A and B are shown apart, each in its own frame.
Chain A
Protein backbone atom coordinates (compact mmCIF):
# COMPACT_ATOMS: atom_id res chain seq x y z
CA UNK A 1 0.00 0.00 0.00
CA UNK A 2 2.73 2.45 0.97
CA UNK A 3 4.64 1.43 -2.16
CA UNK A 4 1.63 2.37 -4.20
CA UNK A 5 1.54 5.81 -2.60
CA UNK A 6 5.26 6.31 -3.18
CA UNK A 7 4.97 5.43 -6.86
CA UNK A 8 1.85 7.54 -7.23
CA UNK A 9 3.56 10.51 -5.60
CA UNK A 10 6.58 10.12 -7.86
CA UNK A 11 4.38 9.94 -10.94
CA UNK A 12 2.51 13.04 -9.87
CA UNK A 13 5.77 14.87 -9.25
CA UNK A 14 7.04 13.87 -12.70
CA UNK A 15 3.77 14.96 -14.22
CA UNK A 16 3.99 18.41 -12.70
CA UNK A 17 7.75 18.86 -12.89
CA UNK A 18 8.14 19.89 -16.55
CA UNK A 19 5.21 22.29 -16.52
CA UNK A 20 6.30 24.00 -13.33
CA UNK A 21 9.86 24.27 -14.64
CA UNK A 22 8.66 25.97 -17.79
CA UNK A 23 6.35 28.18 -15.78
CA UNK A 24 9.13 29.07 -13.39
CA UNK A 25 11.60 30.00 -16.10
CA UNK A 26 8.98 31.94 -18.01
CA UNK A 27 8.05 34.04 -15.04
CA UNK A 28 11.63 34.44 -13.84
CA UNK A 29 12.10 37.16 -16.41
CA UNK A 30 8.84 38.70 -15.20
CA UNK A 31 10.10 38.74 -11.66
CA UNK A 32 13.33 40.35 -12.82
CA UNK A 33 11.53 43.01 -14.75
CA UNK A 34 8.74 43.73 -12.37
CA UNK A 35 9.05 44.31 -8.69
CA UNK A 36 9.99 41.36 -6.59
CA UNK A 37 7.23 38.99 -5.49
CA UNK A 38 6.06 39.88 -2.01
CA UNK A 39 5.35 36.45 -0.54
CA UNK A 40 3.52 37.63 2.54
CA UNK A 41 1.18 39.85 0.56
CA UNK A 42 0.67 37.14 -2.06
CA UNK A 43 -0.36 34.60 0.58
CA UNK A 44 -2.60 37.00 2.48
CA UNK A 45 -4.30 37.99 -0.75
CA UNK A 46 -5.02 34.38 -1.65
CA UNK A 47 -6.40 33.22 1.70
CA UNK A 48 -8.61 36.28 2.14
CA UNK A 49 -12.15 36.77 0.88
CA UNK A 50 -12.49 38.75 -2.37
CA UNK A 51 -15.07 40.50 -4.54
CA UNK A 52 -14.03 38.52 -7.61
CA UNK A 53 -12.90 34.97 -8.26
CA UNK A 54 -9.38 35.16 -9.61
CA UNK A 55 -8.51 32.11 -11.73
CA UNK A 56 -5.21 32.72 -13.48
CA UNK A 57 -3.13 35.17 -15.44
CA UNK A 58 -2.13 34.68 -19.07
CA UNK A 59 0.59 37.14 -19.99
CA UNK A 60 -0.66 40.39 -18.57
CA UNK A 61 -4.32 39.46 -18.91
CA UNK A 62 -6.04 38.58 -15.64
CA UNK A 63 -8.75 35.94 -15.92
CA UNK A 64 -11.36 36.38 -13.23
CA UNK A 65 -15.01 35.63 -12.61
CA UNK A 66 -16.71 38.90 -11.65
CA UNK A 67 -19.19 38.66 -8.78
CA UNK A 68 -22.09 40.97 -7.99
CA UNK A 69 -21.46 43.80 -5.56
CA UNK A 70 -24.52 44.75 -3.51
CA UNK A 71 -24.03 47.73 -1.24
CA UNK A 72 -26.31 50.16 0.53
CA UNK A 73 -25.11 53.70 1.03
CA UNK A 74 -26.63 56.02 3.59
CA UNK A 75 -26.67 58.88 1.05
CA UNK A 76 -27.37 57.30 -2.34
CA UNK A 77 -29.30 54.12 -1.53
CA UNK A 78 -28.82 50.68 -3.06
CA UNK A 79 -26.18 49.94 -5.69
CA UNK A 80 -25.87 46.67 -7.59
CA UNK A 81 -23.10 46.16 -10.14
CA UNK A 82 -20.45 43.62 -11.16
CA UNK A 83 -17.06 43.80 -9.51
CA UNK A 84 -15.41 43.87 -12.96
CA UNK A 85 -16.35 47.60 -13.06
CA UNK A 86 -13.38 48.19 -10.80
CA UNK A 87 -11.02 47.02 -13.56
CA UNK A 88 -12.11 49.84 -15.86
CA UNK A 89 -12.22 52.64 -13.32
CA UNK A 90 -10.90 52.81 -9.79
CA UNK A 91 -13.91 54.65 -8.41
CA UNK A 92 -17.31 53.49 -9.65
CA UNK A 93 -20.54 55.18 -8.49
CA UNK A 94 -18.63 56.59 -5.57
CA UNK A 95 -17.31 53.22 -4.44
CA UNK A 96 -13.77 51.85 -4.55
CA UNK A 97 -11.79 48.90 -3.25
CA UNK A 98 -9.84 50.34 -0.38
CA UNK A 99 -6.07 50.25 -0.14
CA UNK A 100 -5.87 51.87 3.27
CA UNK A 101 -4.65 50.06 6.33
CA UNK A 102 -8.05 49.84 7.99
CA UNK A 103 -10.23 48.45 5.19
CA UNK A 104 -7.70 46.65 2.98
CA UNK A 105 -9.49 44.93 0.11
CA UNK A 106 -12.96 45.95 1.28
CA UNK A 107 -15.36 48.10 -0.69
CA UNK A 108 -15.57 51.61 0.72
CA UNK A 109 -17.59 54.67 -0.12
CA UNK A 110 -15.51 57.73 -0.91
CA UNK A 111 -17.11 60.75 0.71
CA UNK A 112 -16.77 64.23 -0.67
CA UNK A 113 -14.17 65.12 1.90
CA UNK A 114 -12.12 62.17 0.64
CA UNK A 115 -12.52 60.00 3.73
CA UNK A 116 -13.50 56.34 3.39
CA UNK A 117 -16.58 54.86 4.99
CA UNK A 118 -17.83 51.27 4.95
CA UNK A 119 -21.30 50.98 3.37
CA UNK A 120 -23.77 48.27 4.35
CA UNK A 121 -22.27 45.47 2.28
CA UNK A 122 -24.08 42.24 1.35
CA UNK A 123 -22.09 41.50 -1.80
CA UNK A 124 -21.89 37.97 -3.11
CA UNK A 125 -18.18 37.46 -2.41
CA UNK A 126 -15.93 34.54 -3.28
CA UNK A 127 -16.60 32.78 0.02
CA UNK A 128 -20.33 33.35 -0.22
CA UNK A 129 -20.46 31.88 -3.72
CA UNK A 130 -18.31 28.97 -2.57
CA UNK A 131 -20.74 28.37 0.29
CA UNK A 132 -23.64 28.27 -2.16
CA UNK A 133 -21.77 25.83 -4.42
CA UNK A 134 -20.80 23.50 -1.58
CA UNK A 135 -24.28 23.60 -0.05
CA UNK A 136 -25.96 22.76 -3.34
CA UNK A 137 -23.45 19.95 -3.84
CA UNK A 138 -24.30 18.59 -0.39
CA UNK A 139 -28.03 18.81 -1.04
CA UNK A 140 -27.61 17.15 -4.44
CA UNK A 141 -25.55 14.25 -3.04
CA UNK A 142 -27.69 13.53 0.00
CA UNK A 143 -31.05 14.03 -1.70
CA UNK A 144 -30.10 11.54 -4.40
CA UNK A 145 -28.84 9.06 -1.80
CA UNK A 146 -31.98 9.46 0.29
CA UNK A 147 -34.12 8.99 -2.80
CA UNK A 148 -32.40 5.72 -3.66
CA UNK A 149 -33.13 4.47 -0.13
CA UNK A 150 -36.78 5.43 -0.47
CA UNK A 151 -37.07 3.68 -3.80
CA UNK A 152 -35.10 0.51 -3.18
CA UNK A 153 -35.23 0.08 0.58
CA UNK A 154 -32.31 -1.44 2.45
CA UNK A 155 -31.00 -3.67 -0.31
CA UNK A 156 -27.59 -3.78 -1.98
CA UNK A 157 -27.15 -0.45 -3.74
CA UNK A 158 -24.94 1.34 -6.20
CA UNK A 159 -21.32 2.08 -5.40
CA UNK A 160 -21.83 5.76 -4.66
CA UNK A 161 -24.73 5.20 -2.29
CA UNK A 162 -22.79 2.50 -0.47
CA UNK A 163 -19.80 4.80 -0.21
CA UNK A 164 -21.89 7.58 1.31
CA UNK A 165 -23.53 5.11 3.66
CA UNK A 166 -20.10 4.06 4.88
CA UNK A 167 -19.26 7.66 5.76
CA UNK A 168 -22.57 8.37 7.46
CA UNK A 169 -22.59 5.14 9.45
CA UNK A 170 -19.01 5.69 10.57
CA UNK A 171 -19.87 9.07 12.08
CA UNK A 172 -23.23 7.89 13.39
CA UNK A 173 -22.05 4.70 15.08
CA UNK A 174 -18.59 5.70 16.29
CA UNK A 175 -18.96 9.36 17.13
CA UNK A 176 -22.54 10.38 17.76
CA UNK A 177 -23.81 7.27 19.60
CA UNK A 178 -21.03 6.95 22.21
CA UNK A 179 -20.38 10.69 22.69
CA UNK A 180 -23.89 12.10 23.03
CA UNK A 181 -25.33 9.24 25.05
CA UNK A 182 -28.96 8.32 25.56
CA UNK A 183 -30.94 10.65 23.29
CA UNK A 184 -28.43 10.73 20.46
CA UNK A 185 -31.11 10.48 17.77
CA UNK A 186 -32.29 14.01 18.47
CA UNK A 187 -28.86 15.47 17.75
CA UNK A 188 -27.81 13.21 14.88
CA UNK A 189 -29.17 15.46 12.08
CA UNK A 190 -27.24 18.51 13.28
CA UNK A 191 -24.02 16.61 13.91
CA UNK A 192 -24.09 14.82 10.55
CA UNK A 193 -24.83 18.09 8.75
CA UNK A 194 -21.97 19.74 10.61
CA UNK A 195 -19.55 16.98 9.67
CA UNK A 196 -20.39 16.92 5.98
CA UNK A 197 -20.56 20.71 5.70
CA UNK A 198 -17.07 21.15 7.14
CA UNK A 199 -15.72 18.18 5.23
CA UNK A 200 -16.98 19.26 1.81
CA UNK A 201 -15.79 22.82 2.33
CA UNK A 202 -12.35 21.61 3.40
CA UNK A 203 -12.12 19.35 0.36
CA UNK A 204 -13.32 22.07 -2.04
CA UNK A 205 -10.72 24.40 -0.55
CA UNK A 206 -7.99 21.99 -1.65
CA UNK A 207 -8.98 22.17 -5.32
CA UNK A 208 -6.97 25.03 -6.78
CA UNK A 209 -9.31 25.98 -9.67
CA UNK A 210 -12.77 27.47 -9.95
CA UNK A 211 -15.39 25.43 -8.06
CA UNK A 212 -12.94 25.12 -5.20
CA UNK A 213 -10.05 27.14 -3.96
CA UNK A 214 -11.93 29.51 -1.67
CA UNK A 215 -10.71 29.43 1.89
CA UNK A 216 -14.16 28.96 3.40
CA UNK A 217 -13.48 27.00 6.58
CA UNK A 218 -10.30 29.03 7.08
CA UNK A 219 -12.44 32.14 7.48
CA UNK A 220 -13.05 32.99 11.10
CA UNK A 221 -16.59 34.30 10.56
CA UNK A 222 -17.71 30.91 9.25
CA UNK A 223 -16.10 28.95 12.04
CA UNK A 224 -17.57 31.49 14.45
CA UNK A 225 -21.09 30.79 13.19
CA UNK A 226 -20.57 27.02 13.43
CA UNK A 227 -19.19 27.32 16.96
CA UNK A 228 -22.01 29.70 17.94
CA UNK A 229 -24.67 27.21 16.83
CA UNK A 230 -22.92 24.54 18.89
CA UNK A 231 -22.84 26.93 21.85
CA UNK A 232 -26.59 27.57 21.56
CA UNK A 233 -27.48 23.88 21.25
CA UNK A 234 -25.30 22.81 24.19
CA UNK A 235 -26.63 25.49 26.51
CA UNK A 236 -30.28 25.51 25.48
CA UNK A 237 -30.71 21.75 25.62
CA UNK A 238 -28.54 21.41 28.73
CA UNK A 239 -30.27 19.70 31.65
CA UNK A 240 -30.96 21.16 35.07
CA UNK A 241 -28.10 19.10 36.44
CA UNK A 242 -25.73 20.71 33.92
CA UNK A 243 -26.58 24.21 35.10
CA UNK A 244 -26.46 23.13 38.73
CA UNK A 245 -22.95 21.76 38.24
CA UNK A 246 -21.90 25.07 36.77
CA UNK A 247 -23.49 27.43 39.27
CA UNK A 248 -23.41 25.30 42.44
CA UNK A 249 -21.03 22.35 41.90
CA UNK A 250 -20.43 19.60 44.45
CA UNK A 251 -17.24 21.01 45.94
CA UNK A 252 -16.30 22.28 49.44
CA UNK A 253 -18.38 25.35 50.27
CA UNK A 254 -15.43 27.76 50.58
CA UNK A 255 -14.75 27.24 46.89
CA UNK A 256 -18.11 28.67 45.96
CA UNK A 257 -19.60 30.69 48.84
CA UNK A 258 -17.79 33.98 49.63
CA UNK A 259 -15.85 34.21 46.39
CA UNK A 260 -17.31 32.01 43.62
CA UNK A 261 -14.12 30.43 42.26
CA UNK A 262 -15.66 27.36 40.73
CA UNK A 263 -18.74 28.99 39.17
CA UNK A 264 -16.51 31.61 37.55
CA UNK A 265 -14.20 28.96 36.11
CA UNK A 266 -17.15 26.89 34.91
CA UNK A 267 -18.81 29.92 33.33
CA UNK A 268 -15.57 30.75 31.52
CA UNK A 269 -15.53 27.13 30.37
CA UNK A 270 -18.92 27.57 28.70
CA UNK A 271 -17.44 30.20 26.43
CA UNK A 272 -13.98 28.69 26.06
CA UNK A 273 -15.27 25.41 24.63
CA UNK A 274 -16.87 26.85 21.46
CA UNK A 275 -14.08 29.43 21.24
CA UNK A 276 -11.53 26.60 21.05
CA UNK A 277 -13.63 24.91 18.37
CA UNK A 278 -13.68 28.13 16.36
CA UNK A 279 -9.94 28.78 16.60
CA UNK A 280 -8.98 25.17 15.91
CA UNK A 281 -10.76 24.83 12.58
CA UNK A 282 -9.84 28.36 11.48
CA UNK A 283 -6.14 28.07 12.31
CA UNK A 284 -5.77 24.59 10.85
CA UNK A 285 -7.30 25.44 7.51
CA UNK A 286 -5.61 28.82 7.25
CA UNK A 287 -2.25 27.27 8.07
CA UNK A 288 -2.78 24.55 5.46
CA UNK A 289 -3.54 27.07 2.71
CA UNK A 290 -0.68 29.37 3.72
CA UNK A 291 1.91 26.60 3.79
CA UNK A 292 0.84 25.30 0.38
CA UNK A 293 1.11 28.81 -1.09
CA UNK A 294 4.45 29.42 0.61
CA UNK A 295 5.84 26.19 -0.85
CA UNK A 296 4.66 27.16 -4.32
CA UNK A 297 6.13 30.63 -4.04
CA UNK A 298 9.54 29.12 -3.22
CA UNK A 299 9.80 28.52 -6.99
CA UNK A 300 9.37 32.21 -7.75
CA UNK A 301 11.51 33.49 -4.91
CA UNK A 302 14.51 31.42 -6.01
CA UNK A 303 14.09 32.40 -9.68
CA UNK A 304 16.96 34.87 -9.51
CA UNK A 305 19.44 32.59 -7.76
CA UNK A 306 20.86 30.85 -10.81
CA UNK A 307 19.69 27.86 -12.81
CA UNK A 308 21.04 25.10 -10.56
CA UNK A 309 19.54 26.45 -7.34
CA UNK A 310 16.31 27.29 -9.07
CA UNK A 311 15.91 23.80 -10.55
CA UNK A 312 16.74 22.16 -7.25
CA UNK A 313 14.38 24.31 -5.26
CA UNK A 314 11.63 23.84 -7.84
CA UNK A 315 11.91 20.06 -7.60
CA UNK A 316 11.91 20.32 -3.82
CA UNK A 317 8.92 22.64 -3.85
CA UNK A 318 6.92 20.32 -6.11
CA UNK A 319 7.78 17.34 -3.96
CA UNK A 320 6.75 19.07 -0.75
CA UNK A 321 3.62 20.53 -2.31
CA UNK A 322 2.44 17.08 -3.36
CA UNK A 323 3.30 15.70 0.06
CA UNK A 324 1.45 18.54 1.74
CA UNK A 325 -1.52 17.95 -0.54
CA UNK A 326 -1.88 14.47 0.90
CA UNK A 327 -1.42 15.74 4.44
CA UNK A 328 -4.11 18.35 3.83
CA UNK A 329 -6.46 15.67 2.56
CA UNK A 330 -5.99 13.93 5.90
CA UNK A 331 -6.38 17.19 7.83
CA UNK A 332 -9.60 18.00 5.96
CA UNK A 333 -11.13 14.77 7.30
CA UNK A 334 -9.60 14.97 10.77
CA UNK A 335 -10.73 18.55 11.40
CA UNK A 336 -14.30 17.80 10.34
CA UNK A 337 -14.20 14.68 12.54
CA UNK A 338 -12.75 16.50 15.55
CA UNK A 339 -15.23 19.38 15.28
CA UNK A 340 -18.16 16.95 15.11
CA UNK A 341 -16.81 14.75 17.88
CA UNK A 342 -16.12 17.61 20.28
CA UNK A 343 -19.56 19.07 19.60
CA UNK A 344 -21.03 15.65 20.37
CA UNK A 345 -18.97 15.43 23.56
CA UNK A 346 -20.09 18.90 24.70
CA UNK A 347 -23.71 18.03 24.00
CA UNK A 348 -23.20 14.81 25.94
CA UNK A 349 -21.73 16.79 28.85
CA UNK A 350 -24.72 19.12 28.73
CA UNK A 351 -27.13 16.17 28.98
CA UNK A 352 -25.85 14.90 32.35
CA UNK A 353 -28.27 13.28 34.74
CA UNK A 354 -28.10 13.54 38.48
CA UNK A 355 -25.51 11.18 39.95
CA UNK A 356 -27.39 10.84 43.22
CA UNK A 357 -30.35 9.13 41.61
CA UNK A 358 -28.13 6.68 39.79
CA UNK A 359 -26.48 5.54 43.02
CA UNK A 360 -29.75 4.49 44.63
Chain B
Protein backbone atom coordinates (compact mmCIF):
# COMPACT_ATOMS: atom_id res chain seq x y z
CA UNK B 1 0.00 0.00 0.00
CA UNK B 2 2.82 2.35 0.90
CA UNK B 3 4.46 1.66 -2.44
CA UNK B 4 1.18 2.33 -4.22
CA UNK B 5 0.84 5.70 -2.48
CA UNK B 6 4.46 6.54 -3.24
CA UNK B 7 4.01 5.63 -6.89
CA UNK B 8 0.89 7.73 -7.10
CA UNK B 9 2.78 10.67 -5.64
CA UNK B 10 5.80 10.23 -7.90
CA UNK B 11 3.74 10.20 -11.06
CA UNK B 12 2.32 13.56 -10.07
CA UNK B 13 5.46 15.25 -8.86
CA UNK B 14 8.52 13.80 -10.53
CA UNK B 15 11.45 12.09 -8.91
CA UNK B 16 13.77 15.09 -9.12
CA UNK B 17 11.48 17.26 -7.05
CA UNK B 18 11.14 14.61 -4.37
CA UNK B 19 14.91 14.34 -4.29
CA UNK B 20 15.28 18.09 -3.95
CA UNK B 21 12.74 18.21 -1.13
CA UNK B 22 14.48 15.38 0.69
CA UNK B 23 17.80 17.10 0.13
CA UNK B 24 16.56 20.25 1.82
CA UNK B 25 15.27 18.18 4.73
CA UNK B 26 18.55 16.32 5.09
CA UNK B 27 20.57 19.55 4.96
CA UNK B 28 18.35 21.09 7.61
CA UNK B 29 18.64 17.99 9.81
CA UNK B 30 22.41 17.84 9.51
CA UNK B 31 22.82 21.55 10.17
CA UNK B 32 20.49 21.33 13.16
CA UNK B 33 22.46 18.45 14.59
CA UNK B 34 25.80 20.16 14.06
CA UNK B 35 24.76 23.52 15.47
CA UNK B 36 23.04 21.77 18.35
CA UNK B 37 26.29 20.04 19.26
CA UNK B 38 28.20 23.32 19.13
CA UNK B 39 25.54 25.02 21.24
CA UNK B 40 25.53 22.30 23.88
CA UNK B 41 29.32 22.30 24.15
CA UNK B 42 29.36 26.07 24.40
CA UNK B 43 26.75 25.97 27.17
CA UNK B 44 28.85 23.46 29.09
CA UNK B 45 31.96 25.52 28.59
CA UNK B 46 30.24 28.69 29.76
CA UNK B 47 28.88 26.89 32.81
CA UNK B 48 32.36 25.68 33.68
CA UNK B 49 34.02 29.01 33.12
CA UNK B 50 31.54 31.87 33.09
CA UNK B 51 34.25 34.53 32.85
CA UNK B 52 35.19 33.28 29.36
CA UNK B 53 31.60 33.57 28.14
CA UNK B 54 32.19 36.29 25.55
CA UNK B 55 35.15 34.49 23.94
CA UNK B 56 33.25 31.22 23.85
CA UNK B 57 30.18 32.87 22.37
CA UNK B 58 32.17 34.40 19.54
CA UNK B 59 33.91 31.16 18.66
CA UNK B 60 30.58 29.36 18.84
CA UNK B 61 29.08 31.77 16.32
CA UNK B 62 32.06 31.36 13.98
CA UNK B 63 31.77 27.56 14.06
CA UNK B 64 28.01 27.71 13.62
CA UNK B 65 28.44 30.07 10.67
CA UNK B 66 30.69 27.55 8.91
CA UNK B 67 28.08 24.83 9.33
CA UNK B 68 25.21 26.98 8.19
CA UNK B 69 27.16 28.04 5.10
CA UNK B 70 27.48 24.41 4.00
CA UNK B 71 23.84 23.65 4.66
CA UNK B 72 22.79 26.81 2.82
CA UNK B 73 24.87 25.77 -0.19
CA UNK B 74 22.94 22.53 -0.36
CA UNK B 75 19.61 24.25 0.18
CA UNK B 76 20.31 26.72 -2.62
CA UNK B 77 21.30 23.87 -4.94
CA UNK B 78 18.14 21.96 -4.00
CA UNK B 79 16.13 25.12 -4.58
CA UNK B 80 17.49 25.27 -8.14
CA UNK B 81 16.41 21.67 -8.76
CA UNK B 82 12.90 22.31 -7.41
Chain A residues at the B interface, C-beta cutoff of 8 Å: 174-175, 178-179, 276, 279-280, 283-284, 287, 337-338, 341-342, 345
Contact = CB atoms under 8 A, between A and B. Distances in A.
Interface in B62-76: 62, 65-66, 68-69, 72-73, 75-76
Interface string B54-65: 110010011001
Specify the main secondary structure of chain A where it touches its partner.
Answer: helix
Contact of B62 (A174, A283, A341): A341
B23 to A, nearest CB: 14
Nearest to A278: B69
Contacts of A276: 66, 69, 73
Given A174-B54, A174-B58, A341-B58, A283 B65 contact: no
Contact of B73 (A178, A179, A279, A342): A279
Contact of A178 (B58, B61, B68): B58
27 contacts: A174-B54, A175-B58, A178-B55, A178-B58, A179-B58, A276-B66, A276-B69, A279-B73, A279-B76, A280-B65, A280-B68, A280-B69, A280-B72, A283-B72, A283-B75, A283-B76, A284-B72, A287-B75, A338-B61, A338-B65, A341-B58, A341-B61, A341-B62, A341-B65, A342-B62, A342-B65, A345-B62
Contacts of A287: 75
A341 B76 CA distance: 23
Contacts of A178: 55, 58
Contacts, number: 32
Contact of A279 (B58, B62, B72): B72
Nearest to A179: B58
Given A283-B72, A284-B72, A338-B61, 4 more contacts: A279-B69, A279-B76, A280-B69, A342-B65
Contacts of B62: 341-342, 345
A174 B56 CA distance: 12
A284 B54 CA distance: 25
A101 to B, nearest CB: 15
B42 to A, nearest CB: 15
A174 B61 CA distance: 13
A174 B58 CA distance: 9
Contacts of B54: 174
